[in-house]
Structure 1
Amino acid sequence: MFLPVFLAFWVIFFFYHFYWKRRGFPPGPTPLPFVGNIFHFDISNAEQQLLEYRRKYGKMFTLWLPEPYVFFGDFEMMKTYFKRDELSGRPEMEGMKLFIGGNYGMVINENLWWRSQRRFGLHVLRDFGVGKPVLENACIEEGRKLVEDLNRAKGNPVCLLPYVLTAVGNIIHQLVFGSVREYDDPFFHDIARDFKIVADFFNSPTMFLIEQFGYKPALYLQKIFDYGLNRVIKSNDSILDVVQEEIDCHKKTVIYDQPPRDYIDAYLFEMKRREEEGRPLEEFTEHQLKASLYDLFFAGMETTVTTLRHAILHMIRSPKIQARIHKEIDEVIGREKEICMSDQKLLPYVNATIQEVQRISNVVTLNVPHCTTEDIVVEGYSIPKKTVVIPQYSIVHVDPKEFAEPGEFLPDRFINANGEFVKDERVIPFSIGKRACLGEGLARMELFIYFATLMQKFEFHPEVEGRMPPLDMSVKVTKTPKPYLFRAITRV
């Protein structure tokens, strides 16, 4: 009696895991019971591995991590489907419960709240100067300080990271906190370190298992044996403490009958207005504000800093491209005039180079997950409600069917026969659809002003002449160049 029951159990078990639960989903590698494809998927080689899955399984494929993640690897499909509300949700993430108490803020927020938080964020960013001279002038000023700081190195080998951390960090610091910090202030180094510790944990196998089984068992297991979670929680708490300290300071100094000084003031104004109108306060609370500031700081620093590090690395490795940029800037702008956004249309090769950096660098390893808000049929596949769906832009960026010689750094691919810059919609560094990055305008301005200013003022050489730094990457949530040294030689 026991043997038939035992065999029947295993037949049902394997039938469910290897066939039944996968029915209707796009194809993909066969998942193992309980853990799915977690141990098949190598995050450090995600770019090429996802491209191989695209080639093998088609425009859509499913990875089980261990729940189903449906990846979109075709640009036209992304453009079509991710405009729809049905693919604009966010999954309820156990990791976010652990770190900020749930799906709060602007990036991971779900239901109708994310629309109000996003709308408010866009409104405030616009009011405080995104796309206006006030913020452009702030970027120009930070660019000037960046040049002065690099000049102090006198051509000796340096690492770019601390320089651009402060330049980029001060812009978001001014927007959200209303002040800037000095270049020797360790604040940005400390907060970037803590963000990196937290972000790296998010793409780890442990994090995928937390999403499957919940964060409370993870906290219990941490008490039994140390697998690094305490370090991550400590870094996360350090970030939240900084944010809370600024909120507390603003609550003591805000003056409600004067214009808001920054994002925190504007949010406190909105909270007060809603309270006076007798409206529900759940959408705009201090906890939502804290989570939104967390989002703004991480998104406002990490991707822009990393893109600039990629850009200078490619300049060092591509002296002919570097010389061509110098020539364009010298002929059109000169070496003395401060570069501003009105110069952008005059520098097609600079723009082409920035776009090529964004294409080839693929800074975000796995794009921020969406989820379906209802059952939906896509290209004949039945995707249930609350399934994670990911528009994976890196697949498009490295697909030879989209870009010839995708592994080569070739800014000329974005210059037409008339020598004009061609903005290519297939290069998607800021996401797509209704969840696209709300800080895109700010990030584009920072990238142009900082990169063009650096190229105007310096030649970039390897630490040892003739010995090029390798394209070695650290791949976690973001794909960042491993630390490299270079020499910034002042152009005279």
Structure 2
Amino acid sequence: MILLLSFCLLLIFWIISNFRKGSNLPPGPTPLPLIGNIHQLIYLIWKLNGIVPTLDFYRKKYGNAYTIWLGPMPTVNITDYEMAHEIFVKNGKKCQDRQLAPVLEHISGGHGILAANGENWAEMRRFTLLSFRKMGVGSGLMEKKIMAELDGRCSELDAEIDKNGKVTVPVDFFDLTVGSVINSLLVGKRFDENSKDEFLKIKKMFDDSSETFNLFDLNVPVWFLKWVLPWRFRITWDARQNILSHVGKEAVERFQKLKDGTYDLDSEEPKDLVDCFLAKMRSENEKGQDGHPGYNMDALKLVLHDLWLAGQGTTATSLYVGFLKLVTHPSVILKIQKELLKITQGSRDLTLQDRPNTPYLNATIAEIQRFTSVLNVNFWRINDELISFRGFQVPAGTMMTAQIGALHVNEQLFENPDEFDPERFLRNEKLLQQLIPFGIGKRSCVGEQLARSELYLVLGNLLLRYDIRAHGALPTNMDVFPYSSAKLPDTSGKFEFRKIQKT
């Protein structure tokens, strides 16, 4: 009797406490004690076949700002650009830390970029941006590297076309093209015939681990995964460790050569990000106690891991999904090709300097990114101060995010969001600003410039060189794991490439 009474009192206290905590938060579904809205989320994701449709359902019911309780934790979800800008840009200093997924923090130890906060994160982000500038990201030097990789891949296609008149192109083409660019940037090596199988094996392992990249696995304690669901913990652990091993191998070998005196660093003209980091690590070590402690080999491996992961998967997926949409909208392809031929006269490659003169291609890439929206659930931020907006008050320590997937299907911003319509960005140029595929605020993607350059050069030059059609039936499932926080489309789709005859 005493235990029952104690339980009832604790339950009443919990209800009163959470009512007070949530009284000034945006509206949302009524939570249950302990489990919050988890039961409703599971049901709606199953019923609506995905997380984004579920988040969009809540947006339509409660507005562009709403609260969902993950167990005892309230989460504030923003699905409107102006509101997201007000919170994460104007109030950006108040919410630059991420809610770190326990399992990812366990793997990273709080280092790197994706699963780090505070000074460690800030220092690594500053270092990465500075290093990217040194290596020419956003300049003609990086453009040459992207085009060199694309030319190398296209030469393989052309050899097959010369034999058979056409070539069948699977998703591996996009994975290898993008993967080689990011690998060259990070460790100075592209994927060739001898190394591409290793890359594709790691890529498949990571794709398979997307099933565990969900609201459940990313929020429960590590001990729970290890002891109750050890196979799920192992999937996540193995995928990350294999990527760490792959990207860290070159760094470890080069560090050893540096110690042996068989390798020289040029801090002014670094070969790749590993050189930049080793030069910085050497300079910080020379400072002794005044040097930054974050520059060590473990941190280097994690920075490489995070940049490889973010730089490879999102861009390759956008290109693959983009061509899936393009081959089912041949009129869009024809408009792009007409625009590109007018600019290049069919006698040269498309360059980044052509961007101002290719509004239709720019609009198409924007629509592809809107349609792809690689994250079903965006990474949560934690505000360290009270944030007031639109009559709501979000107390410090609350999980907040701009839900990019739901924002990009918000019909208040993007009319008829289910339609693939590049011209929406020509009819209303403000929509380009309201499209945020790389996030918003201080935690936006550090590789945004590189990704934008790759999308423009690869997609544009492929359409300039080839007549591209579907090869067989195309997949209709754009999300293999609807419960996953990351979108992973059915990658069984293939394309037929034929050379465009120049006149």
Fold similarity call, TM over 0.5 = yes
Q: How many Å separate the matches in 1 of 2:426 and 2:7?
A: 65
- Which stretch shows the higher mean deviation, 47-56 or 251-260? 251-260
CA contact (8 A) 2:157 2:167 kept: no
1:188 is matched with which residue? 199
Shift in Å, 1:258: 2.9
TM-score, structure 2 as length reference: 0.88
- Which stretch shows the higher mean deviation, 442-451 or 331-340? 331-340
1:100 is matched with which residue? 108
2:295 is matched with which residue? 284
- Which stretch shows the higher mean deviation, 426-435 or 183-192? 183-192
CA contact (8 A) 1:25 1:381 kept: yes
- Which stretch shows the higher mean deviation, 266-275 or 300-309? 266-275
Alignment pair present for 1:245 and 2:249: yes
Alignment pair present for 1:221 and 2:228: yes
2:443 is matched with which residue? 435
264, 280, 292: which one aligns with 1:270: 280
Unaligned runs of 5+ residues in structure 2 are none
43, 51, 57: which one aligns with 2:56: 51
Shift in Å, 1:468: 5.6
Deviation track 1:403-449 (CA, whole Å, cap 9, x = no partner) reads 221111111112259xxx77710111111111121211111100000
Cα pair distance change 1:257/1:359, threshold 3 Å: closer
CA contact (8 A) 2:169 2:497 kept: no
- Which stretch shows the higher mean deviation, 424-433 or 361-370? 361-370
- Structure 1 runs of 4+ with >4 Å offset: 1-4, 153-157
Shift in Å, 1:397: 1.6
Cα pair distance change 1:410/1:281, threshold 3 Å: same
1:143 is matched with which residue? 150
Q: How many Å separate the matches in 2 of 1:93 and 1:452?
A: 37
Shift in Å, 1:335: 3.5
| Aligned-pair identity (%) | 27
124, 137, 141: which one aligns with 1:134: 141
1:71 is matched with which residue? 77
* Counterpart secondary structure, 1:82: helix
Which amino acid in structure 2 is aligned with residue 375 of structure 1?
L
Q: How many Å separate the matches in 1 of 2:475 and 2:469?
A: 10
Q: How many Å separate the matches in 1 of 2:457 and 2:242?
A: 31
2:500 is matched with which residue? 491
170, 181, 186: which one aligns with 2:180: 170
* Counterpart secondary structure, 2:98: coil
Which amino acid in structure 1 is aligned with residue 342 of structure 2?
E
Q: How many Å separate the matches in 1 of 2:157 and 2:39?
A: 43
TM-score, structure 1 as length reference: 0.90
Deviation track 1:214-237 (CA, whole Å, cap 9, x = no partner) reads 212321224xxx543223322222
| 1:4-83 equivalence runs, <5 A | 5=5, 8-9=8-9, 12=12, 15-16=15-16, 19-41=19-41, 42=45, 45-66=50-71, 67-83=73-89
Shift in Å, 1:388: 1.4
* Counterpart secondary structure, 2:51: helix
* Counterpart secondary structure, 1:71: strand
* Counterpart secondary structure, 1:207: coil
Cα pair distance change 1:8/1:40, threshold 3 Å: closer
> What RMSD, in angstroms, separates the aligned Cα atoms of the two structures?
2.6
Shift in Å, 1:3: 9.5
Q: How many Å separate the matches in 1 of 2:453 and 2:329?
A: 24
* Counterpart secondary structure, 1:414: helix
CA contact (8 A) 1:195 1:298 kept: no
Q: How many Å separate the matches in 2 of 1:347 and 1:227?
A: 49
Which amino acid in structure 2 is aligned with residue 333 of structure 1?
T
Which amino acid in structure 1 is aligned with residue 325 of structure 2?
H
Cα pair distance change 1:20/1:80, threshold 3 Å: closer
Which amino acid in structure 2 is aligned with residue 437 of structure 1?
C
Q: How many Å separate the matches in 1 of 2:266 and 2:217?
A: 48
| 1:280-319 equivalence runs, <5 A | 280-319=291-330
